[in-house]
């Protein structure tokens, strides 16, 4: 049976309690580092599925996830048909990294800074990625860093790959007048606290 959420990927032998502990873990992380955590609770299933829906599992190659946290989007990617072995996860919080390694044993979990992703991933990603899926709280970072994030992401990807990002805001977290990108916005996912939408960015050049 496919996993329904990150919590379903708990180690064998344990019952499935898990939503509450994940929320507490998240709240704890937010209290320690609110700007980096960027949310007080993990994304809900509807939002995670919306993120994953923009990844085509039929394309060969890895999928890079930035800021996976406790893993709700990761679980949705697995549910969508991306084998954990194809997932490369960059997470800053060491406690979340430990949890991700338990929940997604086949995935590559890297404790590092997504804003240095090219350096962080050196030698770890053998083929170009088919998508970058980000839950990073972008508004807390200056625009040049956000621009660099997309530029690095597209250099690590196949041509025309999507950079998928959720936001609670009503405006694009990549300011499109300053960062030239092709962009698509999803409908708002109301079944999330708070409601959010997903932006899909692509390089302005079709070849990458
Ligand atoms: C808004 S939370 C999203 C977590 C999860 N993907 C979800 O949807 O519930 C943002 C996550 O990004 C991580 N993060 C923030 N800045 C980061 C950075 N520079 N590099 C890697 N991870 C980062 C945080 O630790 C946190 O887990």
Question: What confidence tens digit (pLDDT) does each residue in 82-135 have?
Answer: 999 999 999 999 999 999 999 999 999 999 999 999 999 998 888 999 999 999
The C-alpha atoms of residue 84 and residue 113 are separated, in whole angstroms, by 21
DSSP, res 156: T
- Residue 71 Cβ contacting ligand 1 at under 6 Å: no
Query: What's the farthest any 2 CA atoms get from each other in the chain?
Result: 52
Q: Does 26 contact ligand 1 (Cβ within 6 A)?
A: no
Distance CA 81, CA 73 (A): 13
Whether residue 3 is predicted with pLDDT greater than 90 in this model: the reply is: no
Chain center to CA of 94? 16
Helix residue ranges per DSSP H, the chain: 19-32, 34-37, 45-52, 72-80, 94-103, 117-120, 143-155
Mean predicted confidence (pLDDT) in 48-75: 98
d(CA 181, CA 184) in angstroms, rounded, equals 10
Residue 163 alpha carbon to ligand 1 centre in Å: 15
Residue nearest to atom 8 of ligand 1 (CA): 43
Are 131 and 54 in contact, with CB atoms under 8 Å apart?
yes
pLDDT at 40: 81
Does the domain made of 21-202 have the CATH classification 3.20.20.140?
A: no
Q: Whose CA is nearest to atom 17 of ligand 1?
A: 92
Among protein residues, the one whose CA lies closest to atom 11 of ligand 1? 67
| Residue 47 confidence (pLDDT) above 50 | yes
**How high is the mean pLDDT of the chain?**
90
| Cβ–ligand 1 contact at 67 (below 6 Å) | yes
Mean predicted confidence (pLDDT) in 179-183? 96
pTM (predicted TM-score): 0.91
* Run of H or E residues at 185: strand 182-185
Q: What average pLDDT does the segment 156-167 reach?
A: 97
Question: Would the CB of 6 count as within 6 Å of ligand 1?
Answer: no
Higher per-residue pLDDT: 1 or 148: 148
């Amino acid at each position: 049976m496919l996993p329904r959420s990150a919590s379903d990927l708990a180690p064998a032998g344990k019952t499935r309690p898990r939503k509450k502990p994940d929320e507490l873990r998240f709240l704890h992380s937010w209290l320690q580092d609110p700007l980096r955590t960027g949310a007080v609770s993990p994304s809900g299933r509807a939002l995670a599925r919306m993120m994953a829906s923009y990844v085509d599992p039929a394309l060969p190659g890895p999928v890079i996830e930035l800021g996976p946290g406790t893993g709700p989007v990761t679980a949705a990617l697995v549910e969508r048909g991306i084998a954990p072995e194809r997932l490369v996860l960059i997470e800053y919080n060491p406690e979340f990294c430990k949890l991700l390694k338990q929940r997604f044993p086949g995935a590559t979990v890297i404790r590092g800074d997504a804003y240095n992703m090219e350096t962080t991933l050196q030698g770890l990603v053998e083929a170009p990625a088919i998508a970058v899926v980000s839950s990073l709280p972008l508004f807390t970072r200056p625009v040049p860093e956000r621009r660099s994030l997309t530029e690095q992401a597209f250099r690590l990807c196949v041509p025309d790959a999507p950079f998928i990002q959720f936001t609670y805001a009503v405006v694009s977290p990549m300011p499109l007048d300053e960062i030239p990108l092709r962009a698509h916005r999803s409908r708002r996912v109301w079944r999330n606290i708070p409601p959010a939408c997903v932006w899909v960015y692509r390089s302005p050049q079709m070849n990458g």
